[in-house]
Structures are given as structure tokens and as C-alpha cells.
Structure 1
Amino acid sequence: MMKKAWNVQDLIVFDDDNYTIINKPPFLSTLEDRNDPNNVLGLFRKENANYQVCHRLDKETSGVLILSKHEQAFKAAALQFQERTIEKIYHALVKGQFMNEVIQVDVPLRTSGSGKAIVDRRNGKEALTLFRPKQFFKGYTLVEAKPITGRTHQIRAHLAYLKFPICGDVLYDGEPIYLSTVKKNYKRKVDMDERPLFSRVGLHAHAIKLTNVNKNIISISCDYPKDMAIILKKLNKYS
């Protein structure tokens, strides 16, 4: 299977002397991936060797990602992440009808040897996320998540803790979306296995707000990638 050739200019949604902000596509790693030579940092360092990524998104997660162009900008962003003054909004697609209220999950997490985040109230690190339903569909909900801390897999683990794992998130028992689960009177073709409509982790980093080096506010939101836009359109249609 051929690897996709990424054009970095197509990914950029904001650019100045300090930061480049991109809309990361799914299946593109933030940092070096031994299974794939393409990654965000490697691609952008071909343009400017001083680039650093200011935070990370999981490989299957799409959306807004900040890169710094020089050390002062990197340190300024790092301090804001440390002080929790950067605002991040994610959208997650989950199976079932989510609670129709704001939910605060304050459950410590620890990363296991397998890379999975697990709840550990004794040895885990503080992890705090706010959730609220954004849109209800038949059998599914688009949930808005606002992570206050920044633990590995925090949103994924906290939604699984609430018994609403993200669609397609196999690591946390999230199921793919099939047409038979959303379309009334669906008839499967005889002797044919049904293929999922959506099978990756249904998580999108929708928006971010930070203070630039010059003290101006940068506020960016990113459109859904094609696959997520299509599945939301289908859920709308059959709801």
C-alpha cells in the first residue's frame, strides 16, 4: 500500500513569525513513527529545521496542532500548557445518548506498559475533563470535551470510564459504526460481511486558544476531516 504524500501547505490554518497551526489529518503521526516515515514534525522540519511541536495528537486523532518556529515561542506555549491557560476543545463521537448536562470527570490516570491509560486513584496523575453533549443522533451523540489537564489518552479514557467509549476506539472498547445500526429496516446482503462506515477513533481537536509571544490572542478552529464530516452527515440523515 502506497503511503500518502502530504503537502504541508495544505495543512496550515494559521501562520506568523512565531507559530504555524495546522489541521492534522487522521493517520498522520505527530512525531516519528517507526511504521511510517511521514510525521508532522519531520515534514515541517524540511521547511524549517527550527520547528518544534508544542503538544501532541494521537495518530488517528485529527485537528488543531501547534508548531513553534523558534525557542522563545516554544517556551511561551509550553508555559501556557503547564499553567493550563491554553483552552482546547475536542469533539468525540460516542455510541448511545450522552447525559444532557455538563459532566466533570476528575479521575486520576496512569499509562500502563501497553500504552493504555487506566484509572488509578492511588498512583495515577490528576486528570480533569469537562464534557457536554453537542448534538444527539439516533443511537449516537457528538460530545464536546474540554480537557483541563493534558494526560495521554485523557479524553478517550475518561469517556470509556463514563461507559461512552469513542466510536472506533478499539483500545477502549469503542465499536465501529455500521449502516445497520443507524438505518431503519437495513437489509444485509446475503453471504457478505458488512463493512463499517467509520472505524477509526472518532476524535477531532476542534479548537484552541492561546496567547502569542506578542500577547495577542490566537483563536483557531479546524473543520472536520472528510471521513468524520461524512459520518456526521449520514447520522443526521438517518436520525
Structure 2
Amino acid sequence: MLEAITVENEYFSVVSEEDDFVVINKRPGINFHSEDGEFGVVVAAERYFKQKLFSVHRLDKMTSGILLLAKSSAAANRLSELFKNQDIQKFYLAISDKKPKKTQGLIKGGMEKSRRSMWKLTRSNDNLAITQFFSFSLGEGKRLFVVKPKTGKTHQIRVALKSIGSAICGDSIYATEEAHR
């Protein structure tokens, strides 16, 4: 059972510390990896916990949420295997201002690099991305999406929701200018 601990800092809050891993809540707008002279959330966590940590999965810069960081490469391998076998499942929440044609389903396609740091979904099975979604009305033209990626590709959720006409509000790359605001 995870014991709730809360430690606030600019990069993350601590949810729990266990023998083999730590659970943190990454803040939005924080890089996962160190770049442009700023260290990312993993390095911030390593400094906080005063030990080497191993990423098991990642979140995009704009995305907030729970991250597992292993305390050893062996623990990282075990946790990665649990994700691979879907013994640990990830769910994401997103808000869009556009209603999809279907309120639930699978979005499946190849992920291909596009222009300006963008990715696009293709009919190919190369670099296959599979995303399950459920959509609910929030009123006032907004939709809540509960999203479960079946694969783990760069920008997968953002690209999948854009492909069904429901880009995530606030997404500076994939949303319309109005939804970005």
C-alpha cells in the first residue's frame, strides 16, 4: 500500500517513496529530460532523493501526472515489464472543445514525423500507435477524455485526439489557435 507523502517543489510533489521506486506527481510545463541548460524532472528527483533514479515511462513537457522512477536498473526492468504486460495501466485525462463522432473507441495508426516538431497518424502499421478513449460531456461545449494508450509513442495521445477532430485544449502544437488559448 502506498503511503501518501506530499513534498512540494517547482518540478514535482512526492506521492510515495518505496524500497524499489518513488512515485512523483510531475508539474505541467516541466521537461522530462534535461535540455536547454535546465534540468528535467528526473534530475530534479535525483537531487531531491540524493540517488540515481531510472525512468520507467515518461510524460511530455506540457503534461502533468504520476511518474514511477525506479531506484535501480533491475527495478526499472521489472516495472517496465509490468507496463509492457499491462499489469500496470496508465490512464490520462484530457479536455477538448470538440466532440468526436463516436464517444468511445480505438484510434490506431502509424506514427510519422511531420512538420515543426509535429507527428501525424497514418494508415501504415509502421511505428504503430493504439489508443483507447472514452469521451464525456462537461457542458459548455467541453469534452472530458479518459485515454488509455495501448502503446507508448511520442505525442501519441495528442496526435490520436487530433486525428478524431478533438485536439486537447491548451496544446500549443496540435490544437487550433482558439483551443490553444
Is the TM value for this pair above 0.5?
yes
Report the secondary structure of 1:79's partner residue. Answer: helix
CA distance 1:121–1:100, change in 2 (3 Å) = closer
Report the secondary structure of 2:90's partner residue. Answer: strand
Query: Shift in Å at residue 124 of structure 1?
Result: 3.1
TM-score normalized by the length of structure 1: 0.65
TM-score normalized by the length of structure 2: 0.84
Q: Structure 1: where are the runs of 5+ without partners? A: 1-5, 178-197, 200-239
* Aligned counterpart, 2:22: 20
RMSD: 2.4
CA distance 1:175–1:14, change in 2 (3 Å) = farther
* Aligned counterpart, 1:234: none
Larger RCO, structure (CA 8 Å, separation 6 or more): 1
Aligned residues: 173
* Aligned counterpart, 1:183: none
* Aligned counterpart, 1:29: 31
Q: Is 1:171 matched up with 2:147?
A: no
Q: Structure 2: where are the runs of 5+ without partners? A: 1-7
Query: Shift in Å at residue 83 of structure 1?
Result: 3.2
Q: Equivalent of 1:116, from 115, 118, 121? A: 118
* Aligned counterpart, 1:39: 40
* Aligned counterpart, 2:96: 94
CA distance 1:156–1:10, change in 2 (3 Å) = closer
Correspondences of 1:118-133 after superposition (within 5 Å):
118-122=120-124, 124-133=126-135
1:42 counterpart letter in structure 2: V
Q: Equivalent of 1:138, from 127, 140, 145? A: 140
* Aligned counterpart, 1:58: 60
Distance 1:50 1:96 in 2: 42
Is contact 2:100-2:165 (8 Å) kept?
no
Is contact 1:110-1:117 (8 Å) kept?
yes
Distance 2:12 2:119 in 1: 33
Report the secondary structure of 1:171's partner residue. Answer: coil
Distance 2:50 2:10 in 1: 12
CA distance 1:122–1:62, change in 2 (3 Å) = same
Is contact 1:94-1:166 (8 Å) kept?
yes
Q: Which structure has the larger Rg over C-alpha atoms?
A: 1
Is contact 2:11-2:27 (8 Å) kept?
no
* Identical positions, percent: 28
Distance 2:151 2:65 in 1: 18
Query: Shift in Å at residue 125 of structure 1?
Result: 1.3
1:119 counterpart letter in structure 2: L
